[in-house]
Amino acid sequence: MDIGIRLLWLFVGLTSLALGALGIVVPLLPTTPFLLLAAFAFARSSARMTTWLHEHRRFGPLIANWHKYGSIDRSAKIVSMVVIVLAPILTFAIGVPTWALITQVIVLVCSAAFILTRPLPPH
C-alpha cells in the first residue's frame, strides 16, 4: 500500500482514537463508533497500533464485543444511559437555547434507542 494512503489511515485512526477517548467524558460525543473507526483505520495503517488498541484494557473489550457479537456490554450501556439522562439536565441548567436542547434530546433519544437495542455479549 502506498505510504501516503497509510499515513492518511494512520491520521484517521489517531484522530478517531482521540475523539473516542474524549467521548468518555464529553456528553453527546460517542466513544464506541470512534473506537471502531480507529480500529478500522489502524488495520489499514499500523499493525502496532491495531495490536495496542485491541489489547487496551478499556478499549479492547468494547471493540472485541462489537466485532464478535455486535454487542455492547452492560457497564457501557449503564454509563451511556447515565450520561444520556444527565446531558440534557446540564444543558437546561446552563441556559442553552430551547432549539439546542430539543435537538440534543432528539439525538440522545435516538442514541439511547440504538444502544439499548444492541445485545449484551455472551459471558
The pLDDT of residue 28: 66
pLDDT tens digits in sequence order for the chain, 123 residues long: 688 899 999 999 999 999 988 887 776 677 878 888 999 999 999 999 999 999 999 889 888 998 899 999 898 888 888 888 988 999 999 999 999 999 999 988 998 998 899 999 997
For residue 72, which phi and psi values (nearest 5 degrees)? -125, 130
Angle at 20 between CA 77 and CA 22, to 5 degrees: 100
Domain ranges of the chain: 3-69, 74-117
d(CA 109, CA 106): 5
What does the block give as the cell for 50? 491495531
End-to-end CA distance of the chain: 38
